[in-house]
Amino acid sequence: MPGNTYDTPTDVEGTYATPTYTTLSSDTPEYSSVVDANGSDGVKFELRIDWDTSPTDGIYIEVVENLDGTFDGDEIPIFAMRVDAPASVVETFHTITIPNVEHCRLKITQTGTTDSHDFAARAVKYRKVA
Protein backbone atom coordinates (compact mmCIF):
# COMPACT_ATOMS: atom_id res chain seq x y z
CA MET A 1 0.00 0.00 0.00
CA PRO A 2 1.43 3.45 -0.93
CA GLY A 3 2.45 5.80 1.85
CA ASN A 4 5.51 6.99 3.74
CA THR A 5 8.02 5.32 6.02
CA TYR A 6 9.55 7.48 8.74
CA ASP A 7 12.97 7.34 10.37
CA THR A 8 13.42 7.72 14.12
CA PRO A 9 12.95 11.38 15.15
CA THR A 10 16.13 13.35 15.83
CA ASP A 11 16.21 16.36 18.17
CA VAL A 12 17.52 19.39 16.29
CA GLU A 13 16.97 22.01 19.01
CA GLY A 14 16.45 21.32 22.70
CA THR A 15 14.89 17.98 23.61
CA TYR A 16 11.39 17.57 22.18
CA ALA A 17 9.96 14.71 24.25
CA THR A 18 11.19 15.70 27.72
CA PRO A 19 11.08 18.75 26.87
CA THR A 20 14.27 20.76 27.24
CA TYR A 21 13.83 24.14 25.58
CA THR A 22 15.90 26.79 23.85
CA THR A 23 14.86 30.29 24.94
CA LEU A 24 14.12 33.12 22.52
CA SER A 25 14.76 36.34 24.42
CA SER A 26 15.11 38.87 21.62
CA ASP A 27 14.53 39.22 17.90
CA THR A 28 17.86 37.52 17.12
CA PRO A 29 17.34 34.28 15.12
CA GLU A 30 18.07 30.87 16.62
CA TYR A 31 19.12 28.10 14.23
CA SER A 32 18.66 24.37 14.68
CA SER A 33 21.31 21.85 13.78
CA VAL A 34 21.52 20.91 10.10
CA VAL A 35 19.39 18.01 8.88
CA ASP A 36 21.07 15.94 6.16
CA ALA A 37 18.10 14.52 4.27
CA ASN A 38 20.14 13.23 1.33
CA GLY A 39 18.62 9.90 0.26
CA SER A 40 15.24 10.76 1.77
CA ASP A 41 12.16 12.17 0.10
CA GLY A 42 11.78 14.93 2.67
CA VAL A 43 11.79 16.07 6.28
CA LYS A 44 8.99 16.58 8.77
CA PHE A 45 9.78 19.10 11.52
CA GLU A 46 7.85 18.96 14.79
CA LEU A 47 7.99 22.11 16.93
CA ARG A 48 6.85 22.67 20.47
CA ILE A 49 6.51 26.28 21.68
CA ASP A 50 6.09 27.17 25.35
CA TRP A 51 4.76 30.74 25.34
CA ASP A 52 5.55 33.40 27.92
CA THR A 53 2.74 34.30 30.33
CA SER A 54 0.49 36.91 28.65
CA PRO A 55 2.59 36.91 25.46
CA THR A 56 2.74 39.85 23.06
CA ASP A 57 5.53 38.77 20.66
CA GLY A 58 4.85 36.19 17.99
CA ILE A 59 7.35 33.84 16.36
CA TYR A 60 8.61 33.52 12.79
CA ILE A 61 9.34 29.93 11.79
CA GLU A 62 11.47 29.41 8.69
CA VAL A 63 13.10 26.43 7.03
CA VAL A 64 16.27 27.36 5.17
CA GLU A 65 18.04 25.17 2.63
CA ASN A 66 21.61 24.95 1.45
CA LEU A 67 22.61 22.62 -1.35
CA ASP A 68 26.06 21.75 0.00
CA GLY A 69 25.22 21.71 3.71
CA THR A 70 27.73 24.40 4.70
CA PHE A 71 25.27 27.17 5.68
CA ASP A 72 27.89 29.88 5.29
CA GLY A 73 25.56 32.76 4.41
CA ASP A 74 24.10 31.33 1.21
CA GLU A 75 20.93 29.84 2.72
CA ILE A 76 17.69 29.90 0.73
CA PRO A 77 14.39 30.22 2.64
CA ILE A 78 12.03 27.51 1.39
CA PHE A 79 9.26 27.86 4.00
CA ALA A 80 8.12 30.67 6.27
CA MET A 81 5.20 31.29 8.59
CA ARG A 82 4.34 33.60 11.44
CA VAL A 83 2.69 32.29 14.58
CA ASP A 84 0.98 35.06 16.54
CA ALA A 85 1.02 34.95 20.32
CA PRO A 86 -2.04 33.05 21.59
CA ALA A 87 -4.42 34.70 24.03
CA SER A 88 -4.53 31.93 26.60
CA VAL A 89 -2.68 28.81 25.41
CA VAL A 90 0.56 28.07 27.23
CA GLU A 91 2.02 25.55 24.77
CA THR A 92 1.43 24.96 21.05
CA PHE A 93 2.59 22.28 18.63
CA HIS A 94 3.37 22.74 14.93
CA THR A 95 4.29 20.30 12.15
CA ILE A 96 5.99 21.35 8.91
CA THR A 97 6.60 18.90 6.06
CA ILE A 98 9.30 19.82 3.53
CA PRO A 99 9.58 17.53 0.49
CA ASN A 100 12.55 17.21 -1.87
CA VAL A 101 15.27 18.77 0.25
CA GLU A 102 18.87 17.66 0.88
CA HIS A 103 20.21 19.94 3.65
CA CYS A 104 18.03 22.20 5.76
CA ARG A 105 17.57 23.64 9.22
CA LEU A 106 15.08 25.69 11.19
CA LYS A 107 15.42 29.41 11.75
CA ILE A 108 13.25 30.64 14.64
CA THR A 109 12.90 34.35 15.40
CA GLN A 110 10.77 36.12 17.97
CA THR A 111 8.87 39.10 16.47
CA GLY A 112 9.87 41.46 19.29
CA THR A 113 11.95 41.78 22.45
CA THR A 114 9.23 41.85 25.13
CA ASP A 115 8.82 38.10 25.78
CA SER A 116 11.03 35.06 26.34
CA HIS A 117 9.37 32.16 24.51
CA ASP A 118 10.85 28.66 24.67
CA PHE A 119 10.93 26.09 21.88
CA ALA A 120 12.12 22.59 21.09
CA ALA A 121 12.15 20.85 17.72
CA ARG A 122 12.85 17.50 16.15
CA ALA A 123 13.20 16.32 12.56
CA VAL A 124 11.98 13.10 11.00
CA LYS A 125 13.26 12.08 7.56
CA TYR A 126 10.82 10.15 5.39
CA ARG A 127 10.74 8.06 2.23
CA LYS A 128 7.78 7.37 -0.05
CA VAL A 129 6.69 3.77 -0.43
CA ALA A 130 5.08 2.67 -3.68
Average model confidence (pLDDT) for the chain? Answer: 89
Phi-psi region of 90 (alpha: psi -120 to 50; beta: other; left: phi over 0): alpha
pLDDT range class, residue 1, cuts 50, 70, 90: low
Using one digit for the tens of pLDDT, what is the confidence trace for 53-108? 889 999 999 999 987 778 887 788 999 999 998 887 789 999 999 999 999 999 99
Percent of the chain with pLDDT over 70: 98
Range of the domain at 102: 24-125
C-beta atoms surrounding 123 within 10 Å: 27
Element (H, E) at 105: strand 103-110
Using one digit for the tens of pLDDT, what is the confidence trace for 67-77? 777 888 778 89
Instruction: Give a yes or no: residue 1 inside a domain.
Output: no
Number of domains in the chain: 1
Q: Is the pLDDT of residue 130 over 90?
A: no
CATH number for the domain spanning 55: value is 2.60.120.680
